[in-house]
Amino acid sequence: SQQGEEDPQALSIQEGENATMNCSYKTSINNLQWYRQNSGRGLVHLILIRSNEREKHSGRLRVTLDTSKKSSSLLITASRAADTASYFCATSTGAGGSYIPTFGRGTSLIVHP
């Protein structure tokens, strides 16, 4: 079974709007990461948030983490057509450094010009 689950599965917005996608997970984590995948290509790392952090920013990206609710959100502000992609959360679980990246099913984002 997959640790993280993204919501919604699909999101369609207009250029300039904000896009918010959520990730819920099941077990305690060390950190949570967001990745982007352009159609049929490899995943690219966007941002990492540690379990003791609540919010993190990187350019137009804002990530929040609520460990009490076991959830995270990724906000893309002022979206562009080039942001069209699938977005995945990955959780870091394990002990003693035995981290295994575990991914959800992803959110497919379409940004219309």
Partner 1 sequence: DADVTQTPRNRITKTGKRIMLECSQTKGHDRMYWYRQDPGLGLRLIYYSFDVKDINKGEISDGYSVSRQAQAKFSLSLESAIPNQTALYFCATSDPWTDEAFFGQGTRLTVV
Binding to partner 1 (CB under 8 A) within 41-80 occurs at: 41-45, 48
Q: Is-contact 111 85, C-beta < 8 A?
A: no
Stretch that binds partner 1, among 11-19, 52-60, 75-83, 95-103 (CB under 8 A): 95-103
35 vs 70, which CB is nearer to partner 1? Answer: 35
Contacts of 109 (CB under 8 A, 6+ apart): 10, 11, 12, 13, 19, 21, 76, 79, 83, 84, 85, 86, 87
DSSP state of 9: S
The answer to whether 93 contacts partner 1 (rule: CB under 8 A) is: no
Which parts of this chain interact with partner 1 (CB under 8 A)? 1-2, 30-31, 33, 35, 40-45, 48, 88, 90, 92, 97-106
